[in-house]
Structures are given as structure tokens and as C-alpha cells.
């Protein structure tokens, strides 16, 4: 429990934590947030100590793919850096910004309640150094302890209880503007002890990116400037939290959707009467889909802070994490594509047809499983939309149909019988119609889902993120993306079905891929744009 009525904002807890655990510069396990309110001379400054809440239902534990984060029998949420792969999913799951990537070890770290001290009967370092005894720790299950009595007495507040994490950190006398992330606005003048944006970097700045530019390859939180902020609560000192996930995750959305979509489009072609006589249906489609699946894996591993440990997903996998379940699904998809390719190469018609259907069914799971992973990211409420899984499947239809339309038009459509060549025109026509319909269904689905999302009654956090996506920082990318992946393929698809040359649909398929990337990129970034502290 933090008694904010006695906290003087001295940062002793932060310094003690850094010293005890050798926490590098630029990141913190516990930190103090300053909020100022009022108009001069009637102003006030209040403090709040931010840290891990050691939740009863800790989402970071559920989403961690290797169980590097785990809950001890005494309730402490601890971590094992030796098996962390640096996927940063725990940072997305935590509603309290309690986790960070250690710039030295490239693994996730957070407050572990000083377990090395607790196990020998000592209190955490932050508790013993607080000059006001504002930090109170103890056993909540023992009614004789001070903290249990204070919590039982009531009158305390907690952060983000609506996320269902059951946090075990309470605040006494905390200002609402301190504990509610959206109640106070981050100033754009740099705040206390910080230069405003645009000022040349000084030697005092700490660059954690490794590229000498301070960007780390990730976009920072959009500005939330209030033009007339007289009397509005202002965050004047806090810790920065760059976006953990960037363009690689958005690109992974696209490659995964396209790979799965190719299989779905091939199954649609079978429904429309196509056979596997063409080179595309026999071997080119599974080969290209397999390459895109491989690229998906490359992007996933590339985004890890510890890519050397990527195989831990399979060898030390936590079955509750959708990162691990996704790895299983991607592995099954790879096997299905391999079987399809071999059956087609050896002209085993029955087996090839069967493997196409298997690949398409697994493709639906490949396209949609990330929605459940994002659902485990409780810190990002925009991502918890129940429409997300349908968006991902619709995107797979749109780009899968578009890519298949492009590739089938340029792939080999002739087969040799002795010295006579014949054009498989009926097969090509059936495939063109099927791929066009697949693209059209996906594009219409994306448009309908965008309208439904717009009509959804979002909570405060999700509404703020949705504003950033549709009207704010990322609105241009999102809107252009919708034009590319909805309006363009719908118009071209209808035109092709009415007799326009298929090349028009193929061009729209290429544009749809760009559009899906733009929409998903705006979605990924907007979901991380709302402050959690």
C-alpha cells in the first residue's frame, strides 16, 4: 500500500530499487509521477508511486510464452530472465506499464518484490528507505498485519480494476488525476528536468535505442496537448514508455494473412469447379504460401529482443499463451503446405485436393489466432475488440484472393501432352472467378467491420485509441488504407465479374495488400498510443 498523504515525492524508493537491482539508466521498476493542478497562484502538486501491482490474475503471466513470468505460491509475480525471449507481449498485457526491456540483457524486467530479501525475513528495499513510511508491505492473508488491517478498513483506491486483474497494490489519499491515466495531460514542454521536443539532444540524454538516434525503431506516444490547459491537471514528471511493437508486427499481419488467404482462395477455386491442372493450383500456390509463412516467422523472430532463444516457443512453451498456440498453428500450416506441394508435384490429384482443403481450414486459424493473442493484451483495450478475429479473416480473404488473382494470371496455365500444348481455359476462368469473389468477399467484410467498429461503444481507453486511429495521429494512414483495401478491390472485383479484363482485379489485389498493411499498422500503433500511467 502507498500512503500518498505522506509521500513527499523524494524518489528514495526509485533510487533504492535501482541500487538493489542494478536497474540501468532510462528504465525503472518503481517510479514517481508528478501531477500539477490549478492556476497560479492557486496550484498544487501531488505525487503517486507507480510500480507492479502483483495481480492475483496477472495477464503478463498468462501471455508470457515461456513462463519466464510466473506467480509464486506467496502471490509474488516473479520472472526468470534466463528463459525470456524478449517478445514484449507482457508489456502489452500489463495495464500498469510495470514491465520494461532491460537495455543490457534485452529481456523483460519488473519489480519482483525483492524476493531475495523477503525470503530471508527482510522487507523490500523501497519500504525500508522511505523516510515517511509511506510504503507499507506485508501479508494480506494475515489479518494481524498492518497492511491487511488497512485494506480491510476500506477507503483505498486501486488502478484499472476494470481490467479484471485483481491488483494487490492500494493507494491511500491518491489524487484521481494521478491514478487515472487519462485524467491528466502530458505537457509538451518537456516537464520537469527535461528539454522540450525539438531541442538538440544533450550529453545528459540516455539513448536506449542502440542506433544513436534515440528512436529504437518505435514510434513514441502521440502528443496529447491541451491548447487551453488553465487549471487542467498536467503530468509534469513521469517515465517514458515507447511503443513495444512497431512495423514488423504490422507486416507480420499482412504476410500471415496472405499466406492463409492463398489457401482459402484455392479452396474457393475448387468450389467454383477449378481442378488442379494448372501449375498455380498444383505447386505454385503452396510454394508461394509457404514462402510467405516463412517470412512471417522471420518477422516474428526479428522482432524478438532475444532472437537466439526463439525455439523456446516450442521447447519451453506456456500453453496458455496465444503466442505459443500461434506457433503450433503456424507449424501445422507449414506441414499442410508441404503436403500440398508434394501432392501437386507428383500429380496425386486426390491427395492434392484433400491437402488444399486442410490448408484452407488451418488457414482460417492462421489468419485469426492473433486476435486471441491481442485479446490477452489487457493493457491495450482497443485490441480487445470481439470484431478483430473477423477483421483478420476478412483481410485474409481480401489479400489471398488478390494475390491468387495476380499470380494465377502470370503462372503456367498450359500442360503438355506429348508435343501438343493446350490451354486450360475453363480452369483459368473458374480460378479467376473464384479468386475475384474471394477478394470481393474479404473487401466487403473489411468495410462492414470498419462500420461496426465505428458504431461500437468503446470504453474510455479504447475510445481514446480509436480517436488516434480514425481522427488523430494515425487517421491519414487508416483512411487511405480503407480506400485501398475496401473501395478499390470492391470496385475492381465487381468490374471483373461484369466482364472487365482480370488484370484490373489483379491490380486491385496489389493495392488491397498495401491497404491492409496501412489499416493494420494504424491499428497496432493506435492501440499503444494511450498512456497506461
Give yes or no: residues 230 and 372 share one domain: no
CATH number (domain holding residue 179)? 3.30.70.20
Q: Does residue 194 surpass a pLDDT of 80?
A: no
How confident is the model over 296-305, as pLDDT tens digits?
999 999 999 9
Q: Does residue 211 surpass a pLDDT of 60?
A: no
Max distance between CA atoms of the chain, in angstroms, equals 96
How confident is the model over 223-250, as pLDDT tens digits?
444 444 556 898 988 888 889 999 999 9
Q: 242 lies in a domain? A: no
3-state helix/strand/coil string of 91-107: HHHCCCCCCEECCCCCC
Q: Distances from the Cα of 188 to the Cαs of 181, 221, 487, in angstroms?
A: 16, 12, 38
Give yes or no: residues 266 and 203 share one domain: no
Q: Does residue 389 surpass a pLDDT of 80?
A: yes
Confidence of residue 66 (pLDDT cuts 50, 70, 90): very high
Residue ranges making up the domain that contains 378:
247-527
The whole-number pLDDT of residue 423 equals 43
The whole-number pLDDT of residue 209 equals 42
Q: Residues with Cβ < 8 Å from 41, sequence gap 6 or more?
A: none
Continuous H helices in 227-281? 247-271, 279
The average pLDDT across 381-390 equals: 96
Q: Which of 237, 258, 289 is the last residue of a domain?
A: 237
The C-alpha atoms of residue 177 and residue 215 are separated, in whole angstroms, by 29
Give yes or no: residues 488 and 396 share one domain: yes
Give yes or no: residues 197 and 268 share one domain: no
The C-alpha atoms of residue 497 and residue 375 are separated, in whole angstroms, by 38
Give yes or no: residues 18 and 142 share one domain: yes
Q: 179 lies in a domain? A: yes
Inter-residue contact 362 to 332 (CB < 8 Å): yes
Q: For 336-345, 405-414, 492-501, which range has the lowest pLDDT when averaged over its residues?
A: 405-414
CA-based angle 154:160:162, to the nearest 5? 90
Q: Which of 181, 202, 237 is the last residue of a domain?
A: 237
Give yes or no: residues 457 and 396 share one domain: yes
Q: Does residue 412 surpass a pLDDT of 50?
A: no
Burial 104-132 (b: 16+ CB within 10 A, else e): eebbbbbbbbbeeebeeeeebbbbbbbee
The whole-number pLDDT of residue 195 equals 67
Q: For 76-80, 316-320, 346-350, 406-410, which range has the lowest pLDDT when averaged over its residues?
A: 406-410
The whole-number pLDDT of residue 225 equals 46
How far separated are the first and last CA of the chain, in Å rounded?
17
Q: 280 lies in a domain? A: yes
Cell triple for 243: 511503443
The whole-number pLDDT of residue 332 equals 98
The whole-number pLDDT of residue 438 equals 96
The whole-number pLDDT of residue 428 equals 60
The C-alpha atoms of residue 308 and residue 325 are separated, in whole angstroms, by 20
The average pLDDT across 435-452 equals: 97
CA-based angle 435:439:442, to the nearest 5? 140
Q: For 129-133, 262-266, 430-434, 440-444, which range has the lowest pLDDT when averaged over its residues?
A: 430-434
The helix (H) or strand (E) run that includes residue 234 is strand 231-237
Secondary structure letter of residue 528 according to DSSP:
T
Give yes or no: residues 205 and 85 share one domain: yes
Give yes or no: residues 217 and 301 share one domain: no
Give yes or no: residues 319 and 421 share one domain: yes
The C-alpha atoms of residue 181 and residue 403 are separated, in whole angstroms, by 43
Which has the higher per-residue pLDDT, 154 or 413? Answer: 154
Q: 454 lies in a domain? A: yes
CA-based angle 326:331:333, to the nearest 5? 95
**Listed residue (102, 101, 108, 118) closest to 67, CA to CA:** 108
Q: Does residue 218 surpass a pLDDT of 50?
A: no
The whole-number pLDDT of residue 115 equals 96
Preceding peptide of 41 cis, ω within 30°: yes
Half-sphere exposure of 172 (CA within 13 A, CB side): 16
Q: 533 lies in a domain? A: no
Give how far the C-alpha of residue 223 lies from the chain's centroid of Cα atoms, to the nearest Å: 20
The whole-number pLDDT of residue 30 equals 95
**Structurally, how many domains does the chain consist of?**
2
Report the 10 Å Cβ neighbour count for 265: 32
The whole-number pLDDT of residue 276 equals 84
Q: Does residue 426 surpass a pLDDT of 60?
A: no
Inter-residue contact 452 to 301 (CB < 8 Å): no
Q: Does residue 474 surpass a pLDDT of 70?
A: yes
Percentage of the chain with pLDDT > 90?
76
Rounded to the nearest integer, the mean pLDDT of the chain is: 89
Q: Residues with Cβ < 8 Å from 463, sequence gap 6 or more?
A: none
Q: Does residue 410 surpass a pLDDT of 90?
A: no
Give yes or no: residues 140 and 278 share one domain: no
Half-sphere exposure of 23 (CA within 13 A, CB side): 24
The whole-number pLDDT of residue 217 equals 39
The whole-number pLDDT of residue 418 equals 39
Q: Does residue 422 surpass a pLDDT of 50?
A: no
Confidence of residue 417 (pLDDT cuts 50, 70, 90): very low
The whole-number pLDDT of residue 415 equals 43
The C-alpha atoms of residue 367 and residue 36 are separated, in whole angstroms, by 46
Give yes or no: residues 115 and 214 share one domain: yes
Question: Helix count (H) and strand count (E) of the chain?
Answer: 19, 12
Report the 10 Å Cβ neighbour count for 182: 14
The average pLDDT across 175-189 equals: 85
The C-alpha atoms of residue 37 and residue 234 are separated, in whole angstroms, by 6
Give yes or no: residues 457 and 355 share one domain: yes
The average pLDDT across 438-456 equals: 96
Q: Which of 210, 237, 264 is the last residue of a domain?
A: 237
CATH number (domain holding residue 288)? 1.20.1630.10
Q: Does residue 7 surpass a pLDDT of 70?
A: yes
The whole-number pLDDT of residue 494 equals 95
**Listed residue (59, 54, 23, 47) closest to 381, CA to CA:** 59
Amino acid at each position: 500500500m502507498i500512503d500518498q498523504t505522506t509521500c513527499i515525492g523524494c524518489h528514495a524508493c526509485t533510487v533504492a530499487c535501482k541500487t538493489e537491482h542494478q536497474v540501468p539508466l532510462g528504465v525503472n521498476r518503481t517510479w514517481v509521477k508528478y501531477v500539477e493542478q490549478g492556476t497560479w497562484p492557486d496550484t498544487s502538486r501531488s505525487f503517486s508511486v507507480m510500480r507492479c501491482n502483483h495481480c492475483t490474475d496477472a495477464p503478463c503471466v498468462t501471455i508470457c510464452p515461456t513462463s519466464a513470468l510466473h506467480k509464486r505460491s506467496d502471490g509474488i509475480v516473479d520472472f526468470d530472465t534466463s528463459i525470456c525471449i524478449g517478445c514484449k507481449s507482457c508489456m502489452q498485457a500489463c495495464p500498469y506499464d510495470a514491465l520494461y526491456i532491460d537495455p543490457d540483457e534485452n529481456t523483460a524486467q519488473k519489480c519482483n518484490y525483492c524476493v531475495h530479501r523477503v525470503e530471508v525475513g527482510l522487507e523490500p528495499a523501497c519500504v525500508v528507505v522511505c523516510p515517511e513510511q509511506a510504503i507499507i508491505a506485508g501479508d494480506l492473508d494475515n489479518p494481524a498485519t498492518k497492511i491487511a488491517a488497512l485494506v480491510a478498513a476500506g477507503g483505498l483506491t486501486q488502478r484499472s480494476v476494470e481490467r479484471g486483474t485483481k491488483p494487490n497494490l492500494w493507494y491511500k489519499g491518491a489524487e484521481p488525476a494521478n491514478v487515472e491515466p487519462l485524467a491528466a495531460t502530458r505537457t509538451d514542454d518537456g516537464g520537469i528536468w527535461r528539454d522540450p521536443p525539438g531541442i538538440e539532444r544533450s550529453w545528459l540524454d540516455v539513448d536506449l535505442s542502440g542506433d544513436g538516434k534515440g528512436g529504437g525503431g518505435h514510434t513514441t506516444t502521440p502528443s496529447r496537448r491541451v491548447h487551453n490547459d488553465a487549471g487542467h491537471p498536467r503530468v509534469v514528471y513521469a517515465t517514458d514508455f515507447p511503443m513495444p511493437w512497431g512495423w514488423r508486427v504490422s507486416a507480420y499481419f499482412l504476410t500471415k494473412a496472405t499466406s492463409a488467404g492463398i489457401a482459402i482462395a484455392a479452396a474457393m477455386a475448387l468450389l467454383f469447379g477449378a481442378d488442379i491442372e494448372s501449375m498455380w493450383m498444383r505447386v505454385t500456390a503452396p510454394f508461394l504460401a509457404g514462402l510467405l509463412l516463412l517470412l512471417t516467422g522471420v518477422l516474428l523472430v526479428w522482432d524478438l529482443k532475444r532472437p537466439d532463444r526463439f525455439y523456446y516457443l516450442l521447447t519451453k512453451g506456456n500453453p496458455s499463451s496465444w503466442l505459443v498456440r500461434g506457433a503450433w498453428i503456424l507449424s501445422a500450416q507449414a506441414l499442410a503446405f508441404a503436403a500440398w506441394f508434394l501432392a501437386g508435384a507428383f500429380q496425386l490429384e486426390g491427395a492434392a485436393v484433400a491437402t488444399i482443403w486442410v490448408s484452407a481450414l488451418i488457414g482460417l486459424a492462421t489468419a485469426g489466432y492473433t486476435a486471441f493473442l491481442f485479446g490477452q493484451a489487457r493493457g491495450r483495450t482497443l485490441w480487445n475488440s470481439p470484431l478483430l478475429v473477423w477483421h483478420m479473416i476478412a483481410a485474409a480473404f481480401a489479400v489471398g484472393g488478390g494475390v491468387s488473382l495476380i499470380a494465377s494470371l502470370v503462372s503456367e496455365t498450359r500442360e503438355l501432352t506429348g508435343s501438343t500444348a493446350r490451354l486450360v481455359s475453363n480452369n483459368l476462368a473458374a480460378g479467376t472467378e473464384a479468386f475475384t469473389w474471394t477478394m470481393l468477399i474479404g473487401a466487403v467484410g473489411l468495410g462492414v467491420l470498419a462500420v461496426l467498429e465505428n458504431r461500437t461503444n468503446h470504453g474510455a481507453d479504447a475510445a481514446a485509441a480509436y480517436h488516434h486511429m480514425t481522427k488523430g495521429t494515425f487517421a491519414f494512414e487508416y483512411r487511405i488504407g480503407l480506400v485501398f483495401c475496401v473501395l478499390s478491390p470492391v470496385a475492381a472485383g465487381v468490374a471483373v465479374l461484369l466482364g472487365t479484363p482480370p488484370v484490373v482485379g489483379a491490380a486491385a489485389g496489389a493495392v488491397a495488400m498495401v491497404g491492409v498493411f496501412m489499416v493494420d499498422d494504424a491499428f497496432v500503433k493506435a492501440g499503444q498510443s494511450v498512456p497506461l500511467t
